A and B are shown apart, each in its own frame.
Chain A
Amino acid sequence: MSEREQIHNYLVALNRYLSRLQKHEADDVLREIESHIYDAIDEQEKRGGKADPASVLEGFGRPRELADSYINHIQLGAPPPQGFAAIKSVKRGVSKALYYGMAIFGYAFAITLIFTAMANLVYPESVGIWSYSGGNSIVIGFFENALPESDELMGFWYTPFALVAGYCLVRLTKGIMDVLKPNLQVNQ
């Protein structure tokens, strides 16, 4: 087997085992390891020795073990981003239904908020936040007729409020999806 074939086969095997990572992460790992292998071979030749890719590859260990070293600390060791610590304990068992359910819920609610923010500019009488039962109950919505016997709380200010809330919800949902995604792939 030629030098290039040995390296190619190693990288192909490693790529297969890294499939649990997101593609751009796996590509980055492969690119770095390939660069290291060829640099190390160049060094061997510069020192007057014969290129020995097998000895360089030996330093990395078997592709599966190397891939596991990358993946294990993502699943077990690395902390989630700041503010997401609470989902650390549940993320290992995340299912497709939970993942897509959270995405649909988060993005749908955000879109609704942004839509009502815009609608408030066109139909200010029909959109807003109403207070019921002396403040014990709150209704947010878009109604054909203004709600009777209740006070709309925010008026024009509902628009910036809902836009900011919608934006924050998009960011929050995206953050949760990013944390859950690698574990979703493991369970597939």
Chain B
Amino acid sequence: MEKNDTSHAKWDAQLRKGTLELVIMAALQKGAKFGLELLGFLRDYETMIISEGTLYPLLDRLKREGLIDANWQQEDNTRPRKYYELTSEGKNRLTELTSRWRQSVRDIETLLNAK
């Protein structure tokens, strides 16, 4: 059982590594989010739980690539937070990656169902 858990964890980690950019952009498609909010959002998805140390440098990279934008905002008496949102370039990239992802899923499904 323990071996199975380790194997699943490795599989999940490999999958996340290749899809994290798509996952983060997908999580931002409904609107701007700050880092802690994004982490909490992803915690609802069993295979997509990531650490702070993975999230923030990735957000920084996506920002440098022009795929997301970041703005400091302060609401009422809360601490200032840095909100991230997709740029138009990011939205285009998300559309492209979504299409490739769906193609991959179809291909894998076809392979799995082949007799």
A24 to chain B, nearest CB (A): 13
Given the interface contacts A32-B82, A35-B80, A78-B65, does A70 sit within 8 Å of B60 by beta carbon? yes
Residue pair B35, A66 in contact (C-beta under 8 Å): no
Interface size class of A (residues with CB under 8 A): 20 to 34
What is the chain A residue whose CB lies nearest that of B35?
A36
Name A69's closest neighbour in chain B (CB-CB): B57
In chain A, what residue has the closest Cβ to B82?
A: A32
Query: A14-41: contact bitstring with B at CB < 8 Å (1 yes, 0 no)?
Result: 0000000000000011011101101110
Most buried by B among A31, A38, A43, A73: A73
Say yes or no: A61 contacts B51, CB within 8 Å.
Answer: yes
* Secondary structure of the B contact surface, majority rule: helix
Query: Is residue A59 contacting chain B, with contact meaning CB distance below 8 A?
Result: yes
- B64-115 contacts to A (CB < 8 Å): 64-65, 79-82
- Verify B65–A65 contact, CB threshold 8 A: no
Q: Are B64 and A78 in contact (CB under 8 A)?
A: yes
The verdict on A66 contacting B61 (CB below 8 Å), with A36-B36, A39-B79, A59-B52 known, is no
Interface SS majority for chain A:
helix
Considering only residues 39-75 of chain A, those with a C-beta below 8 Å from chain B are 39-40, 43, 56, 59-61, 65-66, 69-70, 73-74
Please give, as numbers and ranges, the residues of chain A lying within 8 Å of B65 by CB-CB distance.
Answer: 78-79
Complex contacts, B64 vs chain A, CB 8 Å: 73-74, 78
Residues of A within 8 A of B41 (CB): none
Q: Specify which chain A residues have a CB less than 8 angstroms from the CB of B56 in the assembled complex.
A: 29, 32-33, 36, 60, 66, 70
| CB closest residue in chain A, given B79 | A35
Q: Are A73 and B53 in contact (CB under 8 A)?
A: no
Per the bound structure, the CA–CA distance linking A31 and B74 in Å amounts to: 13
Residues of A within 8 A of B (CB): 28-29, 31-33, 35-36, 38-40, 43, 56, 59-61, 65-66, 69-70, 73-74, 77-79
A sample of 24 inter-chain contacts (CB < 8 A) reads A28-B82, A32-B35, A33-B52, A33-B56, A35-B79, A35-B80, A39-B79, A43-B36, A56-B52, A59-B52, A60-B51, A61-B51, A61-B53, A65-B53, A66-B56, A69-B53, A69-B54, A69-B57, A70-B57, A70-B60, A73-B61, A77-B61, A78-B61, A78-B64
